[in-house]
Amino acid sequence: MSTVRVIKPGLLTTIQDLGRWGLQSRGVPVGGPMDVPSHRLANALVGNRRDAATLEVTITGPELEFDDDRIVAVTGGQFEIAIDSHPVAGGTALKVGCGSRLIVGRRVRGARAYIAVGGGINVPPVFGSRATNLVCALGGVEGRPLKVGDLLPVGDPSAPDLMTIKHRPFPPLPLDRHARVRVLPGPQHDRFSADALDLLQAGPYTLDQRSDRMGFHLRGHRLSHVRGADIISDATPMGAIQVPGSGLPILLMADRQTTGGYPKIATTITADLPVAGQLAPGDTISFVVCSHAEALAALIAQERALMGTERQESV
């Protein structure tokens, strides 16, 4: 079996696929990429299925050595990228020769990149997924970030020749250190003061140092509850904005728990989740309430663009 050797792991590099769907009722979190479109685009560029496992890179990336010829792609945030000592571009299919090294260095813009390898990262699935959940220590390589010396098995590529791959460009993400995301009123928005949604939109909020794949802890305007800060625990979708007793919002992200006991004032629309997913501690975020029609139109447009990329056939 072909493998990829981890020479340097980067700051926080984990194996991710689209996550563990269908198990939330049993207490198993979904997990998966912080920026789903970039994960899917990386797979499309190398000829993989959308659910093939990629490597999610945070802030600084890994150095990887290949034991055979492979097609790779790096998408998402803008990072320094090289094959051996030769700088290369992200967002396109690249050929890495046997014995060569792919080096993903520091971020330039955005916080996360996705490395797809033709054939996918082929670690054993856990509960139907290869995604690493650091909180539960599930999936990936022993449920942890990559470390020096890890050998990552890779599958058989479906598009082994760089010349057989064509693709349409996908609209680039905004990668500023300030993100503006659209939200819908949450299921408990009536448990907050009348001006709470206006205060939420008055932002910006700053991601504090506790922010991680589980959730972004935000500093800024405090939101007031009118019926207490505790509710009977209910489901927590990615992008939900829950508000504990401190009044400071928490934006729930990929590794969130399946349920939570704080009221949720708003929920980030699906199309804007990847914008939030490219933020890091110290970055800022603003929220704006939109209509259901706008949220649906944005998601349809994003999905059409992604599917147009994924459906490109080999020439």
**pLDDT at residue 165, as a whole number:** 57
Residue 197 structure tokens: 């949604």
Nearest to 55 by CA among 70, 84, 35, 69: 35
For residues 182 and 289, the answer to whether their CB atoms sit within 8 Å is yes
Residue 35 structure tokens: 């920026």
Q: What phi and psi values does residue 197 have, to the nearest 5 degrees?
A: -65, -35
Residue 220 structure tokens: 């800024």
Residue 242 structure tokens: 């829950």
Q: At what angle do helices 36-46 and 292-310 cross, to 10 degrees?
A: 20
| DSSP 8-class letter at 59 | S
Contacting residues for 4 by C-beta, under 8 A, at least 6 apart: 64, 65, 66, 67, 70, 117, 121, 151, 152, 154
Residue 134 structure tokens: 């650091």
Residue 8 structure tokens: 């340097």
Q: What domains appear along the chain, each with residue ranges and CATH number?
A: 3-164 (2.60.120), 178-305 (2.40.100.10)
Q: How many CA atoms lie within 13 Å of 117's alpha carbon, on the beta-carbon side?
A: 30
**pLDDT at residue 162, as a whole number:** 58
Nearest to 196 by CA among 235, 249, 273: 249
DSSP string, 191-218: GB-TTHHHHHHH--EEE-TT--SSEEEE
For the chain, residues with pLDDT lower than 50 are: 313-315
